């Protein structure tokens, strides 16, 4: 496949190994990150992460936009 080819995601039918695939719905989360929580998906040191704050929710894969360190608190965007 040529990566320079433009694909119209609205009208194109895309398949991988014969199985149809489609884009997931877009999701944006604004979170007031508490102090003492790290902005990472997994922390080898076992510290609480922003994703621990979202655990009870059934949320698809999301990523933080930027980072706030452990001592910072405030607005964190995830998409």
- For residue 55, what is the domain's CATH number? 3.30.70.580
* Annotated catalytic residue 43: no
Residue 11 has pLDDT above 90, yes or no: no
pLDDT tens-digit profile of 31-40?
999 999 999 9
Q: In this structure, is residue 67 part of a structural domain?
A: yes
Q: Which of 2, 17, 58, 69 is catalytic?
A: 69
25 closest CA partner among 67, 62, 66, 72: 62
What local confidence, expressed as pLDDT, does residue 23 receive? 75
Residue with tokens 């995601």: 9
Q: In this structure, is residue 9 part of a structural domain?
A: no
Note if the pTM is more than 0.75: no
> Of 3-12, 21-30, 43-52, 54-63, which has the strongest mean pLDDT?
43-52
């Amino acid at each position: 496949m040529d990566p320079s080819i433009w694909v119209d995601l609205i009208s194109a039918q895309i398949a991988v190994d014969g199985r149809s695939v489609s884009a997931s719905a877009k999701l944006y989360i604004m979170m007031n990150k508490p102090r003492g929580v790290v902005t990472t998906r997994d922390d080898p040191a076992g510290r609480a992460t922003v994703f621990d704050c979202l655990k009870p929710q059934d949320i698809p894969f999301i990523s933080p936009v930027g980072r706030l360190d452990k001592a910072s608190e405030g607005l964190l965007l995830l998409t």
